Structure formats: C-alpha cells, structure tokens
Amino acid sequence: MTAVFADYLAQEPLASALLAAALLGFALVGGRLSVLDWRTHRLPDRIVLPAYPAAALLLGLAAGIAGEWYRILGMLVGAAVLWLGFGALHLLSRRGLGLGDVKLAGLLGLYLGFAGGTALWWGPFFAVVLGGLWSLALVLAGRATPASSVAFGPFLVLGAALALAVLA
C-alpha cells in the first residue's frame, strides 16, 4: 500500500471509506472499460462521463474530510493536464489516439492528480511504455504490423493503476 493511501487509513474513518469507494470505482470502471476497449476499440461515454463526477465527489470529500484541500486542486489540475495533453495528441493524429482515450485520460487524471505530481507524470508514461511493448511484441510475433490498431484504454488504466500502487 502506498504512503498516500496509508495516510488515509490512519486518519478519519470516513475519509478512508470515501477513498476506498473511489478506488473501488476506479477498479470497476477501469476494468469494464479495458475489456470493452480491448474487444471493440471503443470507450463508451455512457461509462466514462458519469465516472467523472463520481470520482471527483468521492476523492474531493475524502480530501476535505482529511483536511488535505490541496488534493482537490491536484485532482482538477491532473484531469485538465491529461485531458488537454491527450487532446492535443488526438488532434495531431486522429487515427492513432481516439477521443475516448482523451476522456479516459482526463478521468484517470483525477485519481493521479489526487495522489500527486509524481503519479500524474508516471501514470501516462507507464501506459505508453506498456502499450508500446505490447505493440512491439505483436509485430515481432507476426500478429500485427506497425500500422495495426491497438486499443490503448487498457494500457491507460494499467499505467494509472501501476502509478497509484507503486508511486503514490
């Protein structure tokens, strides 16, 4: 367990419960979106968009109850930075990165921003490395070409989870 989340368990029980609910939401929504994207190359708005206010509310209340108001700003900055950054990448190459990935990145930015700047940086980095390694393995195995499309959502979720688990 990481230091950020361990601090909450040692503090206010309500803050701990809210953080646990937010992380459960991360796991459920992230898992569902990963499976859908892997199978269909789609990240449905009907799942991604409602997760924004749910995550913001749970994480924001946990931060407020724990007296760590700066985490709310971190969440908002994290969501904005990842949404804008991935949005710019989408505009540069619409075939490479879908708008669903942009929306998912913003959602994950709430969690990563809550955890801090280190997690916010490393989450997307892990996603790119893991997605790149998977793509390379597919090409080397002859199951894909460099022009093949690979679902990136599962790697976004995995990269964020790895950053939250290891670095937060």
32 vs 125: CA distance, rounded Å: 22
Instruction: Provide the 3-class DSSP secondary structure of residue 37.
Output: helix
Q: What is each CA distance from 118 to 45, 49, 51, 125, in whole angstroms?
A: 28, 25, 23, 11
* Distance of alpha carbon 120 from alpha carbon 71, whole angstroms: 12
Whether residue 1 is predicted with pLDDT greater than 60 in this model: the reply is no
Closest listed residue to residue 86, CA positions, set 167, 168, 160, 161 = 160
157, 109 contact by CB (below 8 A): no
> Whole domain around residue 23: which residue ranges?
3-166
Model confidence pLDDT, tens digit, residues 84-95: 999 999 999 877
C-alpha torsion sign, points 158, 163, 166, 168: negative
Average pLDDT of span 19-37? 97
The confidence score (pLDDT) of residue 94 equals 73
Q: pLDDT for 108-144, tens place per residue?
A: 999 999 999 999 999 999 999 999 999 999 999 999 8
Question: Could you report the per-residue pLDDT of 155-168, keeping only the tens digit for each?
Answer: 999 999 999 999 86
d(C-alpha 110, C-alpha 102), whole Å = 13
Q: How many domains does the chain have?
A: 1
